[in-house]
Structure 1
């Protein structure tokens, strides 16, 4: 099973999603390298995909699918945090959590957002 670090970025009641070019939105994140911790992978992937560097990540839970295990982290970003698409990312965009279920997303993205925010909740359940 592949392991992946996944990050929920939270700012002003919205969650950050990225688009890799398959017309699907997803949470930032990616593969964990052998020489790094899960938290290090989350921070690296966030910088690689959005140019956002964070120090404060909170581990939430593991989410398992058929072929991937997601280690899910959350971070609240300040007003000065402005994501910019980088590497394979074409777009970065903020969405209200309840909007995510109406978008073309990966199943893990949709389910992780639902677990963290509920279907109609406007703030993270921390």
Structure 2
């Protein structure tokens, strides 16, 4: 049996605005959804809130839990957030770019493998 303490866990935030989804990108990498690793003894909702603010400058406390999926060796805690028109994500820390894309235009080839694996799961939130 695998040691549950070694299970990698990630908090991911699917941010929506006017039918578009927010993507972030690190230097020389493909696009990803905002999020990151859950620290030991950190609740996934707190990790999602922290990562969203660290990467985009958007500070929101009311993320909605969508689901938890085990994909490619990582436990993904997925949250959603509707963002107002006046909220402007600004790349921060390791993030060099943010962009909005129509859900129907999401392409596996443009995404990091973990994000593409989530897209392949055909979550209703990610389907056009």
TM-score of the superposed pair, with normalisation by structure 2: 0.85
Deviating beyond 6 angstroms after TM superposition, the runs of 4 or more aligned structure 1 residues are none
1:69 aligns with 2:75: yes
The structural deviation recorded for 1:68 is 1.2
Q: Name the counterpart of 2:10.
A: 4
Q: Gaps spanning 5+ residues in structure 2: where?
A: 1-6
The higher radius of gyration belongs to 2
The structural deviation recorded for 1:102 is 5.5
Match of 1:56 among 47, 54, 62: 62
Measured in 1, the distance between the counterparts of 2:67 and 2:32 equals 17
- Tell me if structure 2 keeps the 8 A contact 1:4–1:71: yes
Q: Gaps spanning 5+ residues in structure 1: where?
A: 122-126
Q: Name the counterpart of 1:124.
A: none
- Tell me if structure 2 keeps the 8 A contact 1:23–1:104: no
Number of aligned residue pairs: give it. 119
Measured in 2, the distance between the counterparts of 1:99 and 1:66 equals 23
Deviations 1:49-101 (A, max 9, x none): 00000121111111212221110000001111100001110100000111112
Q: How large is the Cα RMSD of the aligned pairs?
A: 1.5
Deviations 1:99-120 (A, max 9, x none): 11255102332343431232xx
Q: Name the counterpart of 1:36.
A: 42
Secondary structure of the residue aligned to 2:42 is: coil
- Tell me if structure 2 keeps the 8 A contact 1:100–1:110: no
TM-score of the superposed pair, with normalisation by structure 1: 0.86
